Amino acid sequence: MPGDIVVSHTNIYRVQTNQPLQLQVTIGDGQVGGTALTLNGAPVAFDSSAGQATVGQPGTSLVGSILQCATTVQDINPSTNNTSVTYHLTGGLAVQDFPFAAQVTADSGLARYNITFLLSA
């Protein structure tokens, strides 16, 4: 579709031994969207109404795992074509925000954020 863009990025997030992570996804700029998650290729439940998910289980190591986040944002704000998504991770060695932003090239365009987190010790 005209105006659509793709943003891809890979990040490293240091995790604690045998602890799950909390992920909060915030879509900004008055736009709307949704997120799908996979951990090592398996789907992870994402609460769309709260914009959050628990990744992993207590007692299970996430070290060496790959968390993939696919967030699609649609431009519905008539005053801007800017889109942004912030991924807020807690439960690892540090609380960390990963902000991303992009501008679609046409009204009602889609921005697809394909963000990967390599989980390390």
d(CA 21, CA 74) in angstroms, rounded, equals 27
Q: What is the pLDDT of residues 66-99, one digit of tens each?
A: 999 999 999 999 999 999 999 999 999 999 999 9
Report the chain's mean pLDDT, rounded to a whole number: 96
pTM: 0.96
Q: How confident is the model at residue 18 (pLDDT cuts 50, 70, 90)?
A: very high
Could you give all domains of the chain from N- to C-terminal order, each with its CATH number? 5-120 (2.60.60)
Rounded to 10 degrees, the C-alpha dihedral 10/16/21/24 comes to -60
